[in-house]
Structure 1
């Protein structure tokens, strides 16, 4: 319709100029014709402008749709038979770390590569800053999706390189390790059953903030993966989870503070119940953990019941920023701060005593533009150590991180972070870590 009108305007203009001898015979008629031509010319310009704007709007809409599809599209799909699709992906991440331990020599272990609060030296003399670089947090995964007569079957197998091995003198070799290995059976439209190793149901991965560091708010976050059987039921906009997970007990001996992991003697799995909900722009999780903590050293055989709660979530702000948080309390032990605190200890009389831990973090991410963003985060955990346990055990850990991330394209990210962390023993001895970390990451 618009093109027909444009054509009519053009024909009118041509007709007005086709017979100059007649058109210019009368001055009044000439003025009227000129005014009519100007009016029709303005209409033509307006129509062309409107059509151009509509074209731009249509192109922009198409580009937006393509971008959204690209975000959710599988990384790479291969058909395996008639009913199975294989997806693979991962990322290469290169880290550079400049670390300064104020109260002792460098750990000489995994603490040189990622923040592990329990490895921060305490009560010694610092030896100056050191520089390390590695690619150990790089990872790859394979996923499958199979449609069957009994429902949809999904699987996930993932590995990274953060497992030691080799050395830095020649080859910088490292061993691979399993992160995830599980399958998930969606046996109905609103229920599924997961079997295998993955994130503990007690851990809300969606509340973990973006970080240059391997984890980020390490000192205050729940963080572990373990074998489990998990049932999930959708409940409108939320869901309920119930899981039985692999148990483990980590204790210390009275007077020594030395880990006594050989006392692990659990007879029942850890039980986790979790509800995932949403209220407006707030997505949240409430989880409860019940666990047996037990030991048997051949002479004494004791066990006790531990309980813990976690509240975590994410507030999405109107400008694209977000606030993430997690708060936990109870007999957390190995579940928080990468096992900075033991589940309890064995006192001088051989009795099992449990430790209470309170911890959490808050993080705020701000988007400066569509390619540049930053996150500031603080994490803290403190322990109420069991009576009769050595005062050389860790009582408090915390860390503060601020980072800046730049992504020229969604799959490529460069970042830098300032990290300050500390560990304090019950006897008051304290150690601090100051670290500058840079990273380059390409996802495929």
Structure 2
């Protein structure tokens, strides 16, 4: 009977020694969502598109109008953080976070889904190495929404591996390069995406200006040997292996303005070849025109106003838009998104700290090259408790 306490003390000793100069913390939230969605041209088959607003999944001319009810808790997440004092008033921070938006699961029996890596990084003396939000993104400007992201067509929203150095309000990062469009989305050049951001704070105002410079690459340029206007799989396979490259760039201005207890949040993004960073990849970075790689132009913006009715109740009204322009001679396997917009209004209640009940109505319209449109209306209910 006396062995058990001794065994436990022996097992705990390494942790106790390590904890002498390391702080451990565990956090996350449990979130349950129910979405009643009406689609103008058939249901969205993509799993993520059924859970939150993903513009590229709203397709015109698929099926007759449908209405679907989805319920899930897979956006729940947990994280683990350590902060270790290494002397000289410096520390090493590690952070890892997972949710359950990974593959697997079904709605027949188990509704089980695989864990998915969100963040994993190390910070020391201004240097961050690992995976986290892009330096081109301002998390503080995201509006409160029952939807997982909110106005996703107009939001810079991306996590990826990077090396970032922060000096006061200025941060510069080298981030994972990935080119979407031009026949596939698996081409990485030799040059990382370069991002820079600068924060400006004043009384009741928080602004972030960000810039992006990137090289877009397509490996193995294929010619349209049939002159049919489409570069098919056989022509891609017969490509001579030459690379096509071009440069992309973008700027973003985002922030929050306090109006008494209320707040106004906004974001505006413009650029060429920034499709992977804005709108959850609704716009391809570039397309092949002959042997050349031509960037797409993207303009996106949202504005959100949140009003606090009292200490428990609050509401937000959000509008977002995206507009994309492609080269006149570009060809695509399927019509790409040219315009998207959404409006949402919600009401949230937090009867106790960190517990939130919410209801939200949103409507979105997506237009593709050629003028075809599709729309979605969604009634969203959510319950969330953060710990």
In structure 2, the residue matched to 1:217 is 151
Are 1:158 and 2:87 counterparts?
no
- Once the two structures are superposed, the pairs formed by residues 32-431 of structure 1 within 5 Å of their partners are 80-149=18-87, 151-185=90-124, 187=125, 192-234=126-168, 239-253=169-183, 260-262=184-186, 264-297=187-220, 298-299=239-240, 300-318=242-260, 320-331=261-272, 332-347=274-289, 349-390=290-331, 392-431=335-374
Contact 2:157/2:279 (8 A) holds in 1: yes
Contact 1:107/1:121 (8 A) holds in 2: no
Deviation (angstroms), 1:302: 1.2
Report the Cα distance in structure 2 between the residues aligned to 1:81 and 1:106, rounded to whole angstroms.
Answer: 49
Deviation (angstroms), 1:80: 4.0
Report the Cα distance in structure 2 between the residues aligned to 1:213 and 1:374, rounded to whole angstroms.
Answer: 14
In structure 1, the residue matched to 2:378 is 435
Deviation (angstroms), 1:124: 3.6
More strand as a share of residues = 2
Q: Secondary structure at the match of 1:219?
A: helix
Report the Cα distance in structure 1 between the residues aligned to 2:163 and 2:324, rounded to whole angstroms.
Answer: 30
Report the Cα distance in structure 1 between the residues aligned to 2:108 and 2:283, rounded to whole angstroms.
Answer: 34
Report the Cα distance in structure 1 between the residues aligned to 2:77 and 2:22, rounded to whole angstroms.
Answer: 23
Structure 2: gaps spanning 5 or more residues = 1-15, 221-238
Q: Secondary structure at the match of 2:306?
A: strand
Structure 1: gaps spanning 5 or more residues = 1-77, 254-259
Report the Cα distance in structure 2 between the residues aligned to 1:207 and 1:197, rounded to whole angstroms.
Answer: 20
Deviation (angstroms), 1:178: 0.5
Q: In angstroms, what is the RMSD of aligned CA positions?
A: 1.4
CA radius of gyration, larger in: 1
More helix as a share of residues = 1
Deviation (angstroms), 1:388: 1.4
Contact 2:339/2:368 (8 A) holds in 1: yes
Deviation (angstroms), 1:106: 2.8
Contact 1:101/1:121 (8 A) holds in 2: no
Deviation (angstroms), 1:279: 2.6
Deviation (angstroms), 1:399: 1.3
Number of equivalences: 349
